[in-house]
Amino acid sequence: MGYSERLLNSEEGLLVASKIADKAGITRSVIVNALRKFESAGVIETRSLGMKGTYIKVLNDCLLVELQKLKN
């Protein structure tokens, strides 16, 4: 199971931005900025775990539905 899939299986989980960025071929800052925008919009809550990654809790049911669509 990939790092992003762990998040998609429930409404909370761990995301490692550097690993996702590497897999997607983008910079880590793109991931971090997207997370900040989601948090500012009240869609997610985040908590930095340092080198371990970022804990994310999805607060918006519509986002969960869209994440599940991406998974399938």
Looking at residue 26, what is its pLDDT?
96
* Tokens found for residue 41: 């919009």
Determine the pLDDT at residue 10. 74
pLDDT means over runs of 10, the chain (72 residues): 53 89 94 95 94 92 84 70
Report pLDDT digits (tens) over 25-43. Answer: 999 999 999 999 999 999 9
In this prediction, residue 6 carries a pLDDT of 53
Domains of the chain (ranges, CATH numbers):
3-71 (1.10.10.10)
Q: Where are the alpha helices (DSSP H) in the chain?
A: 3-8, 17-24, 28-40, 61-71
